[in-house]
Structures are given as C-alpha cells and as structure tokens.
A and B are shown apart, each in its own frame.
Chain A
C-alpha cells in the first residue's frame, strides 16, 4: 500500500442480501484516485448498502474489494479506517453527550489517556485549515444540523482519510450551503483525495462530479463521464426507461378557504421559537407547497395543526361544512381525538410513517382502524369494516403485500406510504396535510403519490404539501410557502419565481418576493 495506484477503490462482483431482499447484486464499482465520483440511484437502489460495505458496517456475501491496488477484507469500520476510507453518513453518527473533539477522537488508537486540551487544539487547527468555524468543546446536543455535519467531516479528515464517502450530504443543506460544501470538496480533490458522493439529485451530480456510476434496484448499470452526459441520459440509466420528469399540475378552480392560520407561534424543546408568527390560508382545490431547509419549523407546523404539538400563541381556524352546515372551528389546542369529535375532517400524513402514522408491528387491518376504531360504540373493537377497507386499498392502490394480516413494517417504503395515504384519504378529508410523502420512495411510487394528491385537489380538498425537493415543489404546487427559521419568508407563485429565489428565501426572511405575506396576515377573522 501507500504507493499510488490508478484506482483508489475497486469493487468486483459484490453481492449483499438481507433475508429475501437483494440489496446489491453483482455490483462493480471503480473509484479513480483523485476524482469525485457520483454514485447515482433512486432511493432503495442499494447505494448506501454498497458504501456501507466499504465502511465496514456490512459484510458482502460475495465479491472482492481492492483498495489502492490491494485486495482487502473489510470486516469492521476499523479495517475501513486503516485503509484510509472515511464515510460521512446521512444520519449523523455522533454521541450527544460528548463534545465535538471527543466525538472526533472516538475509537482512535493513541495514548491510554485523552488529553482534552491537546485534542481541542488539534481539532481547532484542522477546522481552521479547511475554513470551518467550530468550538471543539461544544457538546453535540447543543449543535445545529450544519455544525453536526462539520463535525462529521472533520472526524473523517482527522483520521487522515484519503478516500471519502459522503451519503446524501446536501439533504440537510440550503442551496447556498451546498455550494460551500462543493467548494470544500473541490479543494479536497485538489489535495489528492478521492471522493464518492451518494446522491439522487441530478443537478448536483452534474455540478460536482467527474464521473457518475449508476445503480438501479441493487444492480450496477454503468459509469459515464460527467462531461459527456446530461440529465436525460442519467435519468434513463437510473430509472431504466426514458421518463418524462414532468409532474402533472391539473387546473382546478380555487375553492373555499379551508384553513386560516394566524400568527402561529410555538417553542421547541430548548425553548427557542420553532414557529414564529406563522400566518397563511389554505384553500380547497389547491396544493399549497411548503419549502424550507430541514428543521425550519415544518414538522412543528404540521403537528401543531394536527393537535400533536403545543403552541404558545396564534390561532388556527377551520372552515368547512358538516352535514351541509357551514362549520367554523378554532382547532388550536385541541387534541387529535377532540378535533375528530368536532366533526372536522382533517387528515395528516406525518413524516415518520412507521413511527407516527402507522404501527409497524401490526397488520394492515389494525393499522387501517387506527383513526376510526373509536367511532364505533361499545368496549369492543370491530375489525370487519377495517378489514374490508384494507382489502379495498390493496386493490385500488396496488399495494404489494402477502395479505391484510402481514405487519406493515415488513412492506416496502412505497407500499407503506400507500397504506398510510390510502387510509387518510379514505376518511374523505377536506384538509390533507402531507409531510415529505415521497421521501425514500422510488420514482414510480412517487408519481403514484403525486397522482393521489392531485386527485384530492380535484375533489376540492385543501392539500398542504411539505416537500424537500424544490423541483417537485415547483411543479406540483399551486402556491409555495417558504419557511426560514420558523418564520414564513413568503408565499410565492411557482410560475413567477426561480428555484434560486426560493433558495434565497429559505435562508433570508426579508426578500422582495415576500409580498404575499402581508396580504394574508390581514385575513378577516369572524369566528
């Protein structure tokens, strides 16, 4: 080792299975020394699994791995470090109660004692060299998302890795932060480091990489030089057939106002305002997109409206009808079951499907009755109607499952989402809130979900769509509300703005496009 080889990493015929699921099948991957290779594939195509075999988290069932020209066996993360491989995971792997520096030296060999002063100094030095700003003695539980990512990257650099793997590093960053990260990556490349960046965002692939390797459904499709390819070719390789990336946006007459949110404010666990005077209206027959960096208050917004999170101010007014009679209800502060009791038909598809929307260990019947089991009188549960509904959903939404008795946790991500969305739509809501409905789904499932949302819009439902992919948001939504640090920085028409505008609004609340906001705030309250 040590000598320069043309290839930093070669993976040959690598296969990995989990039970019946084949995550990687006979995959070949080659990373040249000093290049940035994008590993492209849809969610669930096996990108992360493949990289986890390089980082020692998983062990391949078959195949060979060569690092810097030598055949190697990577049995543990330790083996992986020894080969100079460092992986920055999508979900940060940091110990909350330890400091940044402690996290960085975790698991390293060295003297029997840890000299805190010494490591703090070293980490600070390293951070300075790459232009990061950070306090090595800060505890992780006090850190923001981007600080945590900085720690993750420093961790790898500190260990002297020269092969870096970044798993979806931009998912939590603004477009501007992404640019900064890419600049750092280019510097690292100049330093002679070899980098693999896992992503499913085509524009990022084209912006940063030298070559692109594509995986589809666990299989290796091929590799192309970035300079010689375009979005269309990459998409085709990724999905397997040419697809139109256009998302349909049916024209629907905007209906009645369904939800009026005024000056909604709430605190997060640390007492900081997670929502700060948020005001907006949602109308029937419209999809209102909500954009923002992860953690800008989207989760709190959904949960406050759904009655799952406490607020400290503002109001939420529901306008609808119940048995033909117009209803106006202040729903803020009501628990989910109280909202239902008031005859309000509001559905919510939470971000955490198996941790909040569904019960992973229960079968479909029991999951379908989750929101309705109380409606029947008496002390016993009725499983007959839910079972019929479950069978109907399997039929209509083409849910792939052995049957209604299979625990939903065993289904694939797309099918899980269909169960959840199907159940919520089945209660015929007039307001439908969906948070990150296509996260982790393959393209086909994603489009099925977009179709379902559009159907609801045509039915006259007010759909609030929390999204992360700006392209999707801009194509699907009729209006987009942009959030930044718990504030609404503006509500814009996707026809009138560019993605960059929205990107800027995601990091600045004061922006020329924030005009719509004032109008909405003046919405009359009559309840």
Chain B
C-alpha cells in the first residue's frame, strides 16, 4: 500500500515553516536576492540602451569617487539613519509609526523658529542647543499625539501618523506663503539660516554624522540592556502580557513614541541647520518613508540600519551622477530602490519557509 502514495494528488508546491536557518545560509539567500534585484535593474537600464555595468560603476563612483561626493553621500545617509533609528523605537513595540515625515517637518519648523528669528540674540552654542531641544520636543509631541489616542481608545496609529505628515506639510506651505515668507522674495520661500548659526563641519560634513553614530550605539544599548528597552519588547509582543507584568502599556506607548518622534524631529533640525539651511516642502523629502524600509530591512538592528542607510544614500547620490553622465533621469534611484526593496522583502519568505515540491520527501536535519 505504501508504495503508491503518489495516488494522493498533492498540490504542486506546498510550503512549510522552517526551523531556524543557519545565519550563513540566510545571508546567502539575501545576497542572491540582492544580486537578482541588481540584475533586474540592469535589464531596465539595458532596455534604455545603456550598459548596466557602466551605469552601476558610475553610480558607485558618483557616490564615493571624490571627497566632495562622499560628503554628499554621508549627508544623505545621516537623516536616513537617525530617522530609521527613531522609527525602530516605535516599530519594536509594533506601533506602526509612518509619520516620520511629519515629525521631521515639525522638528525643522521648531528649530527654524529659533534659528531664523533668534540668531541675532544668542551666541552659536546656545542657539544650536536651543534648536536641538526645540526640534526634539516638537517632534516628540507630534509623535505623542497618536500614542495618546492609541493608548486611550485604540485609534489606528498607521492611519493617524500618516495623516499627520500632510498636516505638517500644509503647515510648512502656510509658513512659506505667509508669516515666514522671505522678505523681498517673489515666490514662496523661507529665509536662509545665517551662516554663523549653521552646524559646524567635521571632516567635511556637519557633525550630525557623529551624532548618528553615537545614536546607533545608544539605541543598541537601550533596546537590549535597559528596562525600558525590555518593556518595549514586551509591549510589542503582547499588550496583555505587558499589563500582566505590571507594565503601564499606555505609558510605554507615550514614552516610546515621544522618543521616536523626538529622534525624527532632531533630523528636521539637522536638515535645516546642517544641510539645507532653510525649510521647504522637501525638507523631509520622503526620508520618513524610506527610513521605514531601512529599519525593516535591518530587522530593527541599529548597526544594520547604519549599513542599509549608507547603501541607500549611495544609490540616491549615484543617481545624480548617472543623470549627468548618461542622461538617465535621477528618479531612477527611486525606481532602483523600489526594486531592491521588493526583492529583499520577498526573499525573507525563503528564509522563513521552505517549499516542497510534489512527491518530494521532507528531510529533517
């Protein structure tokens, strides 16, 4: 009887959850997915009539080829990294904060309130500290709002934080057109920060990069070694367990979302005082969204976020290079980032599950 087990028609492919896979193999799968995504991107480039190798090489050179471009690349990576760390605070407790954009913007506005209007009163150091503090508080409060509602009524935070982005954006447009409009400008824009108040450069880039590296280490310690980090993890796994353990879930929501928003707000200040020297609708520039994918790809590990954010910054910077060199529109970076992310998201499945083809036996290690 057992010999004709094939009589039973199985579905062609079934999937079964794996036991944990060795790290090396998991990274192998990720590497393959990454290469495949580059190949897919390469095919697109090929169809446009360019040699993908040259284009990719030019992208890498465009990001790392000279000290000037390296500075630019790092300038792109810093906001991405800090925002990703900020976002991961919320994501670790399964609080889907997709309001990084808005938190960055309000942070920038708060910093602007001091930077633009009190630069003649305060010396540089207190002014910078004030801007930092203001951006942290503003971003934090902006993050706090949805947390309060979620803690109280269970309001859906994904949609709430999403809406807050556009409220912040409209507010900046209002400032650009109205009260903060640069004097004598014919079109809506906000004044530049006076040079004396701009962030000091260290090795060619504003000191935000040092701060970012410090935050990587601090966040790692916070998540893994502190009571608050432990509480975040418990809340993320189960609100009920957290309550049972005597953790005030609402307080953890509020505290963590304040921190999450505060870090994003800080990014707004860095962008304003260190990179753009003004505030526009593009101050956040999609960083709040891209950072989510950074945090996710890095599996909420701050060191992983460092690597991923530098890589994405490279793509964005490199895209500018290929625009001038090959006349390929710079939006190619978004396209390519999208493709790479699709592949990386998809490959996790093959790490978690395995496929069994019809008739094949399952072997256990």
Contact = CB atoms under 8 A, between A and B. Distances in A.
Interface string B213-249: 0000000000001111110011001101101111110
Interface residues of B, number: 33
A75 B8 CA distance: 10
A19 interface: yes
Given A59-B14, A366-B230, A13 B2 contact: yes
A280 B10 CA distance: 58
Contacts of A379: 226-228
A64 B8 CA distance: 6
Given A62-B8, A355-B238, A19 B227 contact: no
Interface in B339-365: 362, 364
B238 A359 contact: yes
Contact of A335 (B8, B9, B248): B248
A356 to B, nearest CB: 4
A207 B72 CA distance: 80
Given A359-B237, A380-B226, A381-B225, A19 B18 contact: yes
B246 A59 contact: no
Contacts of B2: 13, 62
Contacts of A340: 246
Given A13-B1, A60-B8, A373 B237 contact: no
B334 interface: no
Interface string A59-73: 111111100000101
Nearest to A410: B19
A25 to B, nearest CB: 13
Contacts of A20: 19, 364
Contacts, number: 95
B7 A71 contact: yes
B126 interface: no
Interface in A475-527: none
B7 to A, nearest CB: 6
A253 interface: no
B241 A358 contact: yes
Nearest to A350: B244
Interface string B91-126: 000000000000000000000000000000000000
Nearest to A406: B20
A352 B240 contact: yes
Nearest to A371: B245
Given A19-B18, A20-B19, A379-B227, A59 B10 contact: yes
Contact of B244 (A13, A336, A361): A336
A71 B2 CA distance: 15
A370 B229 CA distance: 13
A18 B16 contact: yes
Contact of B226 (A19, A338, A357, A381): A381
A370 B238 contact: no
Given A59-B11, A63-B8, A356-B238, A370 B227 contact: no
Contacts of A64: 7-8
Contacts of B362: 17, 61
Interface in A351-371: 352, 354-362, 366, 369-371
B254 to A, nearest CB: 16
Contacts of B247: 337
Contacts of B7: 64, 71
Nearest to B9: A73
A328 B237 CA distance: 35
Given A63-B5, A359-B234, A366-B230, A308 B243 contact: yes
Contact of B227 (A337, A356, A359, A374): A374
A357 B244 contact: yes
A306 interface: yes
Contacts of B225: 380-381
B248 A370 contact: no
B8 A348 contact: no
Interface in A73-93: 73, 75
B9 A308 contact: no
A360 B5 contact: no
A181 to B, nearest CB: 32
A439 interface: no
Nearest to B16: A19
Interface string B2-28: 100101111100101111000000000
A10 interface: no
A254 interface: no
A336 B364 contact: no
30 contacts: A19-B16, A19-B19, A20-B19, A20-B364, A59-B14, A62-B5, A62-B8, A63-B5, A64-B7, A64-B8, A73-B8, A335-B246, A335-B248, A336-B243, A336-B246, A352-B240, A355-B240, A356-B238, A359-B234, A360-B237, A360-B238, A366-B233, A370-B234, A370-B241, A370-B244, A373-B230, A379-B228, A380-B226, A380-B227, A381-B226
Interface of B: 1-2, 5, 7-11, 14, 16-19, 225-230, 233-234, 237-238, 240-241, 243-248, 362, 364
Given A359-B234, A360-B237, A374-B246, 16 more contacts: A13-B1, A19-B18, A20-B19, A59-B14, A71-B7, A308-B243, A336-B246, A337-B248, A354-B238, A356-B241, A358-B241, A360-B238, A362-B233, A380-B225, A380-B227, A381-B225
Interface of A: 12-13, 17-20, 59-65, 71, 73, 75, 306, 308, 335-340, 348, 350, 352, 354-362, 366, 369-371, 373-374, 379-381
